[in-house]
Structure 1
Amino acid sequence: MNKPHKLTFPLLAFSSALLLAGTALAADDKKPEAAPAPAAPVLQTAPVAAPPVAFTVPDPVAVVNGAPISKATFEQYAQQLRNRAKTDTPEASKALVDQLVMEELLVQEANKEKLADDPQIKQQLEIVKRSLLASTVVRRMLSENAPSEDAIKKEYETATAAMKGKEYKAAHILVDSEDKAKEVIAELKKGGDFAELAKTKSSDSSAANGGDLGWFTPSMMVPPFAQAVAKMEKGKFSEEPVQTPFGWHVILLEDTRDATPPSLDELKPQIQQMLQSKMIN
Structure 2
Amino acid sequence: MRKRTPRTKLHLQPLQLSSPMETTRMHKMPKLIVPLLALSSTLLLSGGVLAAEDKKPEAATPPAAQPVPAPFTIPDPVAVVNGKTISKAAFDQYVQQLRGRTKVDSAEASKSLVDQLVLEELLVQEADKQKLADDAQIKQQLAMVQRSLLASSVIRRMLSESAPSEDAVKKEYETAIAAMKGKEYKASHILVDSEDKAKEIIAELKKGGNFAELAKAKSSDSSKDNGGDLGWFTPSMMVPPFAQAVAKMEKGKYTEQPVQTSFGWHVILLEDSRDATPPSLDELKPQIQQMLQSRMVNDYLEKLKSGAKIEVKEIQVSEAPKPAPAPAAVVEPKKEEKK
* TM-score of the alignment, normalized to the shorter chain, above 0.5: yes
Match of 1:104 in 2: 121
Q: Which amino acid aligns with 1:55?
A: T
Structure 1 residues 131 and 202: alpha-carbon distance in aligned structure 2, compared to 1, 3 A threshold: farther
Q: Which amino acid aligns with 1:234?
A: K
| 8 Å CA contact 2:45, 2:116 repeated in 1 | no
Q: Which amino acid aligns with 1:57?
A: P
Distance in 2 (alpha carbons) for counterparts of 1:52 and 1:150: 43
Q: Which amino acid aligns with 2:288?
A: I
Instruction: State which of 242, 261, 269 in structure 2 corresponds to 1:252.
Output: 269
Higher relative contact order (Cα pairs below 8 Å, separated by 6+ residues): 2
Match of 1:71 in 2: 88
Structure 1 residues 126 and 209: alpha-carbon distance in aligned structure 2, compared to 1, 3 A threshold: farther
The farther-off stretch of 183-192 and 198-207 is: 198-207
Q: Secondary structure at the match of 2:230?
A: strand
**Deviations 1:207-266 (Å, cap 9, x if unpaired)?**
444322221122333443333223322222112222345443211111222221111111
Distance in 2 (alpha carbons) for counterparts of 1:127 and 1:207: 57
Count the aligned residue pairs. Answer: 240
**Deviations 1:36-79 (Å, cap 9, x if unpaired)?**
xxxxxxxxxxxxxxx95743523x44332232323322222233
Q: Unaligned stretches of 5+ in structure 1? A: 1-17, 32-50
Distance in 1 (alpha carbons) for counterparts of 2:199 and 2:71: 83
Distance in 2 (alpha carbons) for counterparts of 1:56 and 1:221: 58
Match of 2:296 in 1: 279
Match of 2:175 in 1: 158
Distance in 1 (alpha carbons) for counterparts of 2:294 and 2:239: 30
Match of 2:190 in 1: 173
TM-score (norm 2): 0.61
TM-score (norm 1): 0.71
Structure 1 residues 217 and 92: alpha-carbon distance in aligned structure 2, compared to 1, 3 A threshold: closer
Q: Secondary structure at the match of 2:203?
A: helix
Provide the aligned C-alpha RMSD in A.
3.1
| 8 Å CA contact 2:192, 2:264 repeated in 1 | yes
Superposition pairs of residues 1-281 of structure 1, within 5 angstroms: 20-21=45-46, 23=47, 54-55=72-73, 57-58=75-76, 60-87=77-104, 89-281=106-298
Distance in 2 (alpha carbons) for counterparts of 1:238 and 1:94: 70
Structure 1 residues 130 and 205: alpha-carbon distance in aligned structure 2, compared to 1, 3 A threshold: farther
Q: Give 1:168 shift.
A: 0.6
Q: Secondary structure at the match of 2:277?
A: coil
Q: Give 1:85 shift.
A: 3.8
Match of 1:37 in 2: none
Structure 1 residues 96 and 229: alpha-carbon distance in aligned structure 2, compared to 1, 3 A threshold: closer
Structure 1 residues 257 and 57: alpha-carbon distance in aligned structure 2, compared to 1, 3 A threshold: same
Match of 2:20 in 1: none
| 8 Å CA contact 1:195, 1:211 repeated in 2 | yes
More helix by share: 1
Structure 1 residues 213 and 90: alpha-carbon distance in aligned structure 2, compared to 1, 3 A threshold: closer
Distance in 2 (alpha carbons) for counterparts of 1:216 and 1:90: 51
| 8 Å CA contact 2:182, 2:276 repeated in 1 | yes
Q: Which amino acid aligns with 2:73?
A: F
Q: Give 1:126 shift.
A: 3.8
